Structure 1
């Protein structure tokens, strides 16, 4: 059931570890990298709730979620094959957009898949197993260019401004692994029908849990749209007249777009056309359960830290630890490959930590476990500025790996226990907002903060990320987690558990 995530993360890890390198090779400056990266989170913001909403309403010969696994995997494979051959910087940015959209089509239903297939008391174990397969897939993918260069004798030196063969062949391998792993999950699992899911929910809770509702009429949407338009217009004007960093336009445009969506919903409701996907998704957004709202803040600061790490680790390590910013130099490529090893290391530590997280949370609480794990991750990122020998950065990645495994499992375990079965997909997609919004914010302001206050030194982006992750850990204390779900599997399967 979770094996397909190994392939998805294989592609995702190749993207995270190498896209900044590809951008720099094609001529992007460090200042431009965050704005180029913004394509990825914006794509997730749009795609995940739509895919979640559609998969909630899908039932075919292939099932409910599995069609999306398959089609997303096919598109991602094609994108991985083409990405390292991008002839220009803007085509590479466009391919990142396509690749991330395709990954999201496959990835989003996997979260809802665990919620569908397992009873509440086994979901934490299910999400922890996803963390394990994510870690295993990402270990190999992140280190693959380094392994091909050092063990396979593949050239690690770029020719004529292109990418080294070690990177190109890694993307080829990623496409094949992703497709085969997702195909294994599609072929080897079956799904419960909507009627069976309602029956399981009735057995567990005594009734079918009603979907959250909120009386939010056309006038409320109209007034809210006006407020968001004003905020977006003010932000955009400040950036223009004060001549601030161009990345900050993203925030203003984002506020305007959210206002526009609310205005569109208001118009549809005024015309009594409220029965449509956009209106349903927006209504569900404003009707989130309390625990989901509290978890949103935890996710916000967690993913701000992660995005800072993904954007700036290559620039930070090559400049701070290897002493070069020349993307054509052998030293730069050696440092960039070592970043791939570091990313592989934190994913490997995450795979191992997944089992410890389940054990520790079962004996304390999911909240305490997540708090400790996030603080360890924050200290790991901050320690980059204290360590001079790049080999010792592996120790930093122990903390990052523990936090990564926790971020991928415990918030979803807490969340799935409060969501109705009939809206599991759309709410998992909406929950992605609180992963994407901090990434957009990071892409918008980190370059401005570094250039204005920190002399443009990328290493301090990792320090800021570490502080953000510690804040996320402290915010876990506010989350209401009343579930008595067991984190470790029991001998007797409950109704709704997977029987194969």
Structure 2
């Protein structure tokens, strides 16, 4: 049931490691990057709760509840992955980011609810850890693809016409194939439990119009269980830090560590490829740590485990400021990988234990507001902060992200984790 996440992460990893590089290559300045990235959180804000709401109300005797959404998202995301690296202008790349992120969200959101649907509470921590494992494996390969194509296969890392290098293009092509194949493998090889009352579900669907569904999705933010509200604050600062990292790591590493600012130079593209390796390392660490987190959580608690992981991630991000040797960046990535493993599993394990089964997808969608809202905030203020206070030096975005991780860790202390019962939510 989790294998499809391997493919989904090909899409996210290629996006996270290469979109800023593509934007800069097509002429974007550093302070413009957050606004150009706005597509990602806005599509999540609109799509995730709606898809969660409607996937709860979908049932087909052959395709089930969540799997139709997996398949639709996979088809659209594959098209976007093949088109994105062939963008010839900045506006075209931005549009492709909108399509790609929207498509990935259509697949991803039901996958979160899928584990909650299929597993009892005592198995969910392990279930979400398994998702983190496949996310890590997919991201390791996808993030390293430009480096692999350049260094192993001799494919050009610099486009002679000033466009997107062939190594990046081939990475996206392979990513599209992997995305489609992995997600469809899950679609064709898993079965879902039918709802308790299929006829009642059909009646509810008939009575629910599009606008009613939209309204209920967004009103859900005011009906969250107490634990979900507490987790929302943790999520806000966690994802603010992640968004700062995804937007600015390429700029920070190429300028601060490599001393390169010309996006057409060999040195810049060497640094950009190394960022892909760094992202591969942190995702690889996350894949391994995913299996250790349930063990640590049993000995301590899920919230303390998450706190420790976020603190380690904060140290990893801030340490980039002090690095001059590119190889030492891999040490920083270990800390970030530990935080990433926990972010992908612990909040969802805590949340799924207090949600009613019939609204699992709905509340998972609402919960994702607190992934996308901090990204929108980051898109609105990071560029301004760097330009106004830090002379447009991207390395300071890493420090800001590290501090945000520390705040998220401290907020774990307010979270009430009821591991043994389900909180009733109507």
TM-score by length of 1: 0.81
- Cα deviation for residue 274 of structure 1 reads 11
CA–CA separation in structure 1 for the residues paired with 2:49 and 2:195:
19
Equivalent position of 1:393 in the other structure: 329
Other structure's SS at 1:194 match:
coil
Structure 1 residues 360 and 458, CA gap change in structure 2 (3 angstroms): same
Equivalent position of 2:80 in the other structure: 79
CA–CA separation in structure 1 for the residues paired with 2:219 and 2:96:
32
Equivalent position of 2:135 in the other structure: 134
Q: Establish whether residue 301 from structure 1 lines up as the match of residue 302 from structure 2.
A: no
Q: Aligned Cα RMSD in Å?
A: 1.4
CA–CA separation in structure 2 for the residues paired with 1:275 and 1:30:
39
- Cα deviation for residue 482 of structure 1 reads 1.8
Q: Establish whether residue 184 from structure 1 lines up as the match of residue 185 from structure 2.
A: yes
CA–CA separation in structure 1 for the residues paired with 2:78 and 2:301:
39
Could you tell me which of 356, 365, 373 is aligned with 2:292? 356
Equivalent position of 2:121 in the other structure: 120
Equivalent position of 1:218 in the other structure: none
- Cα deviation for residue 453 of structure 1 reads 1.2
CA–CA separation in structure 1 for the residues paired with 2:197 and 2:270:
54
CA–CA separation in structure 1 for the residues paired with 2:69 and 2:325:
44
Equivalent position of 1:46 in the other structure: 46
1:12-411 equivalent positions in 2, closer than 5 A: 12-60=12-60, 61-195=62-196, 276-411=212-347
Equivalent position of 1:459 in the other structure: 395
Other structure's SS at 2:196 match:
helix
Instruction: Please tell me whether the aligned partners of residues 257 and 326 of structure 2 are also in contact (alpha carbons under 8 angstroms).
Output: yes
Structure 1 residues 328 and 275, CA gap change in structure 2 (3 angstroms): closer
Instruction: Please tell me whether the aligned partners of residues 218 and 366 of structure 2 are also in contact (alpha carbons under 8 angstroms).
Output: no
CA–CA separation in structure 2 for the residues paired with 1:274 and 1:153:
51
Other structure's SS at 1:195 match:
coil
Deviations 1:73-131 (A, max 9, x none): 00000100000011210011000000000000000000000000001111111001000
Structure 1 residues 166 and 275, CA gap change in structure 2 (3 angstroms): closer
Equivalent position of 2:205 in the other structure: none
Q: Establish whether residue 429 from structure 1 lines up as the match of residue 365 from structure 2.
A: yes
Query: Which ranges in structure 2 are unaligned for 5 or more consecutive residues?
Result: 199-208, 422-426
Could you tell me which of 327, 344, 354 is aligned with 1:418? 354
CA–CA separation in structure 2 for the residues paired with 1:276 and 1:305:
34
Deviations 1:12-49 (A, max 9, x none): 10011000011011111111111100011100000000
Which 10-residue stretch deviates more, 277-286 or 456-465? 277-286
- Cα deviation for residue 179 of structure 1 reads 0.5
CA–CA separation in structure 2 for the residues paired with 1:275 and 1:168:
39
Equivalent position of 1:254 in the other structure: none
Other structure's SS at 1:355 match:
coil
Structure 1 residues 312 and 64, CA gap change in structure 2 (3 angstroms): same
Structure 1 residues 196 and 473, CA gap change in structure 2 (3 angstroms): farther
Instruction: Please tell me whether the aligned partners of residues 354 and 418 of structure 2 are also in contact (alpha carbons under 8 angstroms).
Output: no
CA–CA separation in structure 1 for the residues paired with 2:265 and 2:366:
43
Deviations 1:211-248 (A, max 9, x none): xxxxxxxxxxxxxxxxxxxxxxxxxxxxxxxxxxxxxx
Instruction: Please tell me whether the aligned partners of residues 49 and 218 of structure 2 are also in contact (alpha carbons under 8 angstroms).
Output: no
Instruction: Please tell me whether the aligned partners of residues 31 and 386 of structure 2 are also in contact (alpha carbons under 8 angstroms).
Output: no
Equivalent position of 1:236 in the other structure: none
- Cα deviation for residue 450 of structure 1 reads 0.9
Other structure's SS at 2:290 match:
helix
Instruction: Please tell me whether the aligned partners of residues 126 and 291 of structure 2 are also in contact (alpha carbons under 8 angstroms).
Output: no
Q: Matched residue pairs, number?
A: 410
- Cα deviation for residue 196 of structure 1 reads 8.1
- Cα deviation for residue 64 of structure 1 reads 0.1
Instruction: Please tell me whether the aligned partners of residues 16 and 246 of structure 2 are also in contact (alpha carbons under 8 angstroms).
Output: yes
Deviations 1:49-70 (A, max 9, x none): 0000110000012000000000
- Cα deviation for residue 284 of structure 1 reads 2.3
Greater gyration radius: 1
CA–CA separation in structure 2 for the residues paired with 1:88 and 1:389:
34
CA–CA separation in structure 2 for the residues paired with 1:21 and 1:376:
27
